[in-house]
Amino acid sequence: MKSYLNLVNGEWKGTSQTITIKEPATGKELGTVPAMEEKEIEEVMQSARQAQKEWQALAVVERAQILHQAAQLLKKEAVEIGTLLSKEIAKSRAASIQEVERTADLIAYTAEEGCRMEGQILEGGSFSKKDQNKIAFVHKEAMGVVLAIAPFNYPVNLAASKIAPALIGGNTVVFKTPTQGAISGLQLARIFHEAGVPAGVLNTVTGRGSVIGDALVTHPEVDAINFTGSTEIGTHIAELAGMKPCIMELGGKDAALVLEDADLENAAKEIVAGAFQYSGQRCTAIKRVFVTEKNADALVAAIQKEMETLSVGLPEENADITPLIDRFVADHIEFLIEDALLKGAVAKTKYQRERNLIWPMLLDQVTVDMDLAWEEPFGPVLPILRVKDVEEMIRLANASEYGLQSAIFTNNYPLAMEIGKALKVGTVHMNHRTQRGADHFPFLGIKNSGLGVQGIKYSIDAMMRMKSFVFER
Ligand code: NAP
Ligand code: G3H
């Protein structure tokens, strides 16, 4: 079994304690990673602090060159890293390789976008006569040391989407890997290291968030935090962070609103792909469907038919539905399904479970008294809620604590725009599943789904602060 190490100040380092990472699909041991303790964090933070000035002093094009090199190396190793990632988080092998390739493209685009960063010049006279001789030059500078925390479901992509914007902006990074996903995250760090990122500019921390998370977040050397994960942990971090700027990508309960004129075949295809990709373990998965009685039976039948195309199996077989990340997530989903069935939901597929593998499940007649109508399951279960009209769809969609994305299925675009404006979410997809990409689009959640805006250009902006220089003529 291989022992993976942390990148600290340009060197690979272990600790006395380790965590064994097992494959969720088979239980086989994949490798060990260091279980860092609070006392070992100090060296990481000091190394990031010391490297920051020199890194910021480089020209943006010099930083961009290193990022381009990382993108190329990552693309070259996409199959090897993707295969490891697939084993570590039980994502289909093809989707895992695609995650790595998408990440290489994201890093390259970030390097280019960083070179287009602009300042601003403002005329004082535009506001008042007495200030007419003043000119403000508004310049962007790095935050300093950024703490990047990624979740298990995209251990490479959602790490790079934090690391690359921070680096191009002149920040140094302390990257806390998800524990399940740590080996993949460390591969990404190795790629940046091999691409020529100087010592201390990118450092990694492995270890349980429950053990070292608070010490990382509250560390005085951390200037900003960029986190993706659950609403529960995100809220906890934001409370601890005090005045440190935080970017948060959190949970979701994305709704599909199927209007009466919708193309039901397309809606069913998009809903099934949106709900069941990576077994539903995506913040942007479709997690509830609203439909009026007029279309409900036909839509449910079309979704059922589409679900028959989903394969269930192992990541290396490229199955659509693979074992969930752990048994606890599977237990929670089982509880949500049982609760819904007890309260009168109608199962349209057979419930089957083997350890942490749950077959895709469709539940019709789900009502608002059931936990499944409100909670984020993070697994392969899709509830259908039959509603009276569009107003009820909007009301229930907005009653959720979450506000990440929605999908509207209709050919009436003026109406879709009106509904979209009424929805309390960051993105509305028209006749398409909910999803984060394209990666340069703004990506944000409102309410309990997040803080701040991601998406390449927006992520770079979030990693920088403005400073004004005011001149008097
Ligand atoms: P999680 O349990 O919240 O963990 C996320 C990360 O936080 C992991 O690296 C975890 O480390 C770390 N962590 C745990 N406790 C911490 C603490 N006290 N301080 C600092 N860090 C701490 O989430 P997950 O299970 O990995 O991911 C699933 C959740 O993420 C879902 O709710 C999903 O909707 C959300 N998500 C949202 C988006 C989005 O863009 N909106 C994207 C992906 C996922 P350990 O692994 O060591 O516990
Ligand atoms: O899990 C949350 C991710 O941000 C979703 O990304 O829509 O590309 O799968 P995705």
The pLDDT assigned to 331 comes to 98
Q: What is the mean pLDDT of the chain?
A: 98
User: Could you give the CA distance from residue 317 to residue 294 in angstroms, rounded to a whole number?
Assistant: 39
| β pairing state of 381-387 and 18-22 | unpaired
Cβ-based neighbours of 363, under 8 Å, separated by 6 or more: 337, 340, 341, 345, 346, 347, 348, 372, 381, 382, 383, 384
Residue 179 in this model has a pLDDT that exceeds 90: yes
pLDDT digits (tens, 9 = 90+) for 335-357: 999 999 999 999 999 999 999 99
Percent residues over pLDDT 70 in the chain? 100
Q: Which of 273, 247, 288 is nearest to 444 (CA)?
A: 247
Is the CB of 31 inside a 6 Å radius of any atom of ligand 1?
no
CATH architecture of the domain with residue range 254-438: 3-Layer(aba) Sandwich (3.40)
Alpha helices in 218-255 (DSSP H): 231-241
pLDDT tops 90 at residue 45: yes
Distance of CA 233 from the midpoint of ligand 1 (Å): 7
pLDDT at 473: 86
Tell me, using a 6 A CB cutoff, whether residue 377 lines ligand 1: no
Domain boundaries, the chain: 2-250+449-472, 254-438
Q: What is the pTM of this model?
A: 0.97
Residue 226's nearest CA partner among 206, 210, 249 is: 249
Using the predicted structure, report yes or no on whether residue 59 has a pLDDT greater than 90: yes
Question: 10 Å Cβ neighbour count for 331?
Answer: 13
- Rounded mean pLDDT, 213-221: 98
Q: State in Å, rounded, how far the first CA of the chain is from the last one.
A: 68
Q: Is 11 one of the catalytic residues?
A: no
What's the CATH superfamily of 2-250+449-472? Answer: Aldehyde Dehydrogenase; Chain A, domain 1 (3.40.605.10)
* Residue 57 confidence (pLDDT) above 90: yes
Condensed to tens digits (0 to 9), the pLDDT of residues 429-444 reads: 999 999 998 999 999 9
Does the pLDDT at position 62 exceed 90?
yes
420 lines ligand 1 (CB under 6 A): no
pLDDT by residue (tens digit) across 254-283?
Answer: 999 999 999 999 999 999 999 999 999 999
pLDDT single digits (tens) 282-305: 999 999 999 999 999 999 999 999
pLDDT band for 1, please (50, 70, 90 cuts): confident
H-run or E-run covering 342? helix 327-342
Separation of CA 231 and ligand 1 centre (Å): 8
Q: Does 149 sit in the ligand 1 pocket, CB within 6 Å? A: yes
| Best CA proximity match to 348, nearest among 336, 360, 357, 338 | 360
pLDDT band at 408 (very low <50, low <70, confident <90, very high): very high
